[in-house]
Structure 1
């Protein structure tokens, strides 16, 4: 194996040391409210000690040992009891739930929990330190209808605490409509301060079938689970659903498209999640979202069995939020597939979230126009773009990491719904599409591409308002894996 230090090019910009220092974990993860609130969350300190974490269960999950009142057959039952007890007995400390080794075929929803005005965090942890021994695994995707979702998963939520049951009802109420990407998750977290340790979270959608025939788009048949018989659909393993100060340590996240999703419900107010010593795999946009996520000493594995192009990160970070996705001292690996060995995979593309009509590029559509509007909408030849969509520029930083030969060495970042790059950096533009946006490495690119359009919409984005790059690297090594 040989290593080569990454150098700066127009398609692969590198940060200065001064900029890189601003991406240290303690800089990215500090909380943005009162000092007393910041002091409550320090996910880095436990990781710096050599001693194992002291995990003492309040509740246990072990289907093979139901001899005590604090032991449950399912994870969701244990969470439900923990939430109910906290409210009844006014418990405000962290609650610990230990999970015995095994595979749990169940959706797991962790609700927001507040007692006496204080947010109560929950920790789920596998009893064994080998995360592969304790697995939450479900086959679910965004194309599942809400009615089918209710039939498959409804019984498990019948007797749960009402905030958990309400989370289920939000999805079930969609009726004959598909549940969508957000609701295709196996583990859903709304609990501020939540922790997961020593666990595997798997969305096994499409892992039980051969590569689907995506060419036959007229085929709208569904299997016995209510899922479409073709298509590489979004299928989320873990969703951090607006929860803040969330930590995952020694956790394996398994899936294909959209494995890990983290989001904030207020675009200009971020929430933060921290991933330590984790393994995350997937193929298309498999680490994505609009909030701040820090990956510390993680392995990020790109899979090429289903597709010829893969994208690790798909951020939609708001232009006013300084940090999006940060990879720190990570290993970017691959599955050894033929597609991976071609060396044309991507580190990412900036998710143009909810776009319908674009102000970027030159449209071949006669009389095409796109203006600022309340909603993003397109009805040829005119469209509107919402401010929230326009400002979802997407930010990624990769520092002190080792990047395998599966990643395009000349151009690891690509356009949204645009063209493609060869290994030598040559670019093949795709036909213009109404959702097109070119890769943007910083606010200077944003202003350059949209200069005249921004003036027409009476918008102004001074460069000092976003001094950090949108996309950049520092101190990485390209490895011949």
Structure 2
């Protein structure tokens, strides 16, 4: 909508304050187990590695790479072995062929099961020497044991095997019926954390070592060893092995007096065990004469055999902070929260600038047609870039991580003269089911500096359905916020809550069904004594009863009294089927609003549009003959729920 007029240029300065954000998975409650179970500690489902894997630069896996979803062995092998970073979501049961096949995992990878759907059957994830920075989460790895071959002496089918790897996090997986080791950490691998896994139904369960060197630093916490015989774990020549809050029970073959055992500190290992729980375990913990083992706070129930403890080992808190759960709480916590969780992997967090240098780079990493929520967490700062979320990338959450929406700003300065109306938008959202929170969107184009006037310069344009803006700001002048749909007869819905929107000419416009609730709308003065602009310019399809609803909000202005319109009817291209519908209800209006606040546009009379008010207040709310008022009966059918509900009952206002 081009309108030539003089505009007072306003400059905005936002200080750059870059922060960091991390995250490769999700957090949230696991499925309920026993009714009396204690709540999960705050870090049990965290997407951030802890323990030794978090040291010396940390373990980030595929952060910074693209997100892909795999359901076949070929795709898993392709992306796992790729030289570039990937976040690989496993969303199916993948049966490896041939039996016992290795899936090679290269550096800089996250492999995460989607809820409880991700399984690798009769196959091994294999990390070759030199592999670094790998996260394996929320998978079930099972059934590579050959029937009747309990000892697996003639096979080497592990669940996960690594040689001379570093910075690896093994978290929330289930290992079952593997031949031979469920998890083998070998040959000087270092900076490892193994947390919240279930090891079950196995002989040689979890081994560490196969080296004369004393290198490995490993954290092992909140794991459940059930129906396993030996190596729970066996730690040979570890520089530091920190075991805490693990749960060992129901050993396989407890009648074997030597090779059925719990934890073993071997060689020159320095091992610390804290607040673990051993139930009906033979040889709960033991140590070679050359090793050291310190144990404190654990509970032994119906145990027999060795409970060795000698030497001073080391102090884990000299390396990292951690939280110990009471040993008595370990069975309930581990039973509930170990192994794959329904909520892990169903959403992914991409951090800017931690994982990706720009917001658009993070959007580019989102897979086409992604089926899980992906959060783009944007650290405080000013991001001078244009951002486009295409229709093929739904279910994205844009989230500023600062204390205030003004802390995180996405801004650019393109006018319509250089890219058309759509091309001028700083941010465009064409996808469905997108949310944006705690952000500021701005178009700071300087007309005066370019000797232009009356230029559209959008901060935001949407054409997707079910779009939510919460605690966001939209800064611009003409055409600040456009909420649209792909075509006139297609309904798209946008919900704006707790927002700030500013502009002067038609700065809230388009044909989408749009609710603006609990927000502040600022009508900027252009310096005129008669006409400073128009707040809305709706182009609602004539058969859509719901266009724009501004409710429970406040309109403010620095313009002189009686110089601002509430809106005018926009008929794009002169289309008579675009018949504006705007309702302003339960909203405070400033003195700047004209006594006759609706006006014509491009030869179309405002009286033919569907403009109305209901229970407006403030100095600009005087009722005149030119101000249609909605009746109580009609207002009952023009609520937030009516506007947004559609045929699918969408109700973002309830959250």
TM-score range, shorter chain: 0.5 to 0.7
For 1:30-77, what per-residue CA distance to the aligned partner results, in whole angstroms no more than 9, with x for missing partners?
Answer: xxxxxxxxxxxxxxxxxxxxxxxxxx8611002xxx4xxxx1110001
Residue 232 of structure 1, CA deviation:
2.0
SS in 1 for 2:606: coil
Aligned to 1:104: 383
Question: 1:121 & 1:94 partners in 2: Cα distance?
Answer: 5
Counterpart CA distance in 2 for 1:186 and 1:180 is 12
**1:415 counterpart (600, 605, 609):** 600
Pair 1:124-2:398 in alignment:
yes
Matches within 5 A, 1:162-181: 179-181=419-421
Separation in 1 of the partners of 2:521 and 2:608? 22
- Matching of residue 201 in structure 1 with residue 424 in structure 2: no
Q: 2:526 aligns to what?
A: 305
Residue 615 of structure 2 is matched in structure 1 by 475
Which stretches in structure 2 are left out of the alignment for 5+ residues?
Answer: 1-346, 622-655
- SS of corresponding position for 2:402: coil
- State the secondary structure of the residue aligned to 2:573: coil
Point out 4+ residue stretches in structure 1 off by more than 2 angstroms. 305-309, 478-481
Matches of 1:316 and 1:480, distance apart in 2? 24
Offset at residue 352 of structure 1 (A): 2.3
Q: Does 1:261 align with 2:261?
A: no
2:456 aligned with 1:234, yes or no?
Answer: yes
Give matches, 1:261-300, under 5 Å.
261-300=482-521
Instruction: Choose which of 136, 139, 164 in structure 1 pairs with 2:410.
Output: 136
Could you tell me how far 1:319 is from its partner in structure 2? Answer: 0.9
Given candidates 568, 580, 583, the residue that maps to 1:397 is 583
In 1, Cα distance between the equivalents of 2:426 and 2:481? 10
Distance in 2 between residues matched to 1:437 and 1:329, nearest whole Å: 29
- Give the CA deviation at 1:343: 2.2
Tell me which structure has the larger Cα radius of gyration: 2
Q: Does 1:440 align with 2:440?
A: no
Note the alpha carbon deviations across 1:343-372, whole angstroms, 9 max, x for none. 2211110112112xxxxxxxxxxxxxxxxx
Instruction: Name 2:361's counterpart in structure 1.
Output: 77
What's the secondary structure of 1:247's corresponding residue? strand
Pairwise CA distance, 1:129: 3.6
Partner Cα separation in structure 1 for residue 441 and residue 380 of structure 2:
13
Q: What is the match of residue 467 of structure 1?
A: none
Q: What do residues 210-265 of structure 1 show as CA deviations (whole Å, max 9, x unaligned)? A: xx4xxxxxxxxxx7xxxx5221200000000x200000000000000000111112
Structure 2 counterpart of 1:95, from 360, 374, 394: 374
Q: Give the match for residue 191 of structure 1.
A: 431
Measure, in 1, the Cα distance between the counterparts of 2:395 and 2:426: 20
What SS is found at the alignment partner of 1:77? helix
Structure 2 counterpart SS, 1:354: helix
Q: Matched residues in 2 for 1:306 and 1:399: separation?
A: 28
Specify the SS of the correspondent of 1:351: coil
Q: Distance in 1 between matches of 2:619 and 2:383?
A: 37
Q: Which residue of 1 aligns with 2:568?
A: 349
State the shift of 1:480 in Å.
Answer: 7.0
Change beyond 3 A, Cα 1:126–1:112: same
Q: Does 1 or 2 have the higher relative contact order (CA < 8 Å, sep 6+)?
A: 1
Counterpart check, 1:327 vs 2:550: yes
Q: Which moved more, 1:304-313 or 1:289-298?
A: 304-313
Offset at residue 306 of structure 1 (A): 5.6
Comparing both structures, which one devotes a greater share of its residues to strand? 2
What does the per-residue CA deviation read over 1:286-336, in whole Å, with 9 as the maximum and x for residues that have no partner? 0000121110111110001365421000001111111111101110101x2
Query: What SS does the corresponding residue of 1:180 show, helix, strand or coil?
Result: helix
Q: Is the 8 A contact 1:273 1:294 kept in 2?
A: yes
User: 1:400 Cα deviation (Å)?
Assistant: 0.6
Q: Is the 8 A contact 1:441 1:472 kept in 2?
A: no
Alignment RMSD:
2.1
Structure-1 separation of matches of 2:587 and 2:608: 19
SS where residue 59 of structure 1 aligns? Answer: strand
SS in 2 for 1:274: strand
Per the TM alignment, residue 101 of structure 1 is displaced from its structure 2 partner at its CA by: 0.3
SS in 1 for 2:506: strand
Larger relative helix fraction = 1
Shift of 1:266: 2.6
Is this contact kept in 2: 1:113–1:121, CA < 8 A?
Answer: no
